[in-house]
Amino acid sequence: MSADPDAMVDGFGRRIEYLRISVTDKCNLRCVYCMPLEGLEWLKRDELLTYEEIAEIVRVMAPLGLRRVRFTGGEPLVRRDLPELVAMVAAVPGIDDLSLSTNAVLLAEHAEALKAAGLHRVNVSLDSLRPERVDAIARRPGSYARIMEGLRAAEEVGFAPLKINVVLMGGTNDDEIADFAALTRERPWHVRFIEVMPTASNLDLSRHNYVSCAEALRRIRALGELEPVGGPTGNGPATYYRFPGAAGSIGVITPMSHTFCDRCNRMRLTADGQLRPCLFGDLQTDLRTPLRAGEPLEPAIRHTLRVKPERHELVQGSTSGSGGLVALSQTGG
Ligand code: SAM
Ligand code: SF4
């Protein structure tokens, strides 16, 4: 741990150097595990942080040890002119890793501008390799074709490493675990399987269709020996493996079966300016009010560090979700 007295270290000695910034709660898809088809209320325009306000928060946190920023949502690319924000954050001294989580539907249109603005890499959600399934999971026809264009554009402009997020759903895509894994032999993709987390809008799915990453690894090992490897850039919660000689790797993210909270290095900023010490639960600190009043932000940031919980309280098979959260798109997954 750093001896830097200004560094953001929480009550459990974890050093916080990573901020996930949600730029919008809206999305152009309605993934079955993430958002309800209807009924979510959108934030109003004046509730959203402006790009200048987001950049200001990053400028305050960088001298406190912030090094890595990810833009997420909702779908970050539905917010207009995202490359402008990327450029503003890229210009903050100390920020050396800038990434984007996206469903890739709009990525082909924006990949070049994002790269030129200083974005280093992208994580793309892709829950199936079959066109009709992707469209059914996303509940938006035509998604698959556009996501494939987005992935091609990401490779062409050189976003690397390219990570693919696959949420495991029994009876929906678990028969493709082997296909995804096999893909990593040829392609330099880092495919990460994620255990579905319960929210109020997915309780049936998260209770009855949960598949653990241990089960995914068991099925993958039937294809061939796996060797543990260090992850590609970005110390996230995933644990990585590889088929010997493969171009890519296989990661598992296990929020339900094994928490990785002991190595948590992050906080989250919601689109309306709440700093959240943990994805789940209801702890958050309002940064927007002091920001708009011209008051210092550091006290609110330090408070958030002090209350950051030791671990999340998610329970597999939950009948209530967590902390009143209806959809991950609301807090920035
Ligand atoms: N729209 C972007 C995307 O899909 O990548 C960014 C936001 S999305 C909320 C971020 C990540 O959260 C995606 O990889 C998505 O698959 C994952 N996610 C959403 N809801 C989830 C849930 N209930 N359990 C596990 N992962 C979830
Ligand atoms: Fe939208 Fe991403 Fe949620 Fe899918 S996972 S509904 S793409 S925010």
**pLDDT tens-place string over residues 121-174:** 999 999 999 999 999 999 999 999 999 999 999 999 999 999 999 999 999 999
Contact 234, 97 (CB under 8 A): yes
- Ligand with smallest separation from the Cα of 99: 1
> Tokens in use for 271?
């689109």
What CATH architecture does domain 18-167+262-330 belong to?
A: Alpha-Beta Barrel (3.20)
What residues pair up with 269 in beta bridges, in sequence order? Answer: 21, 275
Evaluate: CB of 87 within 6 angstroms of ligand 2: no
Tens of pLDDT, residue by residue over 300-328, are 999 998 888 887 777 777 776 666 677 78
Q: How confident is the model at residue 24 (pLDDT cuts 50, 70, 90)?
A: very high
User: How far apart are the C-alpha atoms of 183 and 246, rounded to whole Å?
Assistant: 9
Q: How confident is the model at residue 13 (pLDDT cuts 50, 70, 90)?
A: confident
- Ligand with smallest separation from the Cα of 314: 1
Q: How confident is the model at residue 199 (pLDDT cuts 50, 70, 90)?
A: confident
pLDDT for 264 equals 83
* Ligand 2 nearest atom to the CA of residue 101, by list position: 2
Atom 5 (ligand 1): residue with closest C-alpha? Answer: 102
Evaluate: CB of 169 within 6 angstroms of ligand 2: no
pTM over 0.85: yes
What residues pair up with 15 in beta bridges, in sequence order? Answer: 9
- Alpha helix locations (H) across 79-237? 82-90, 107-117, 131-138, 143-157, 177-186, 203-208, 213-221
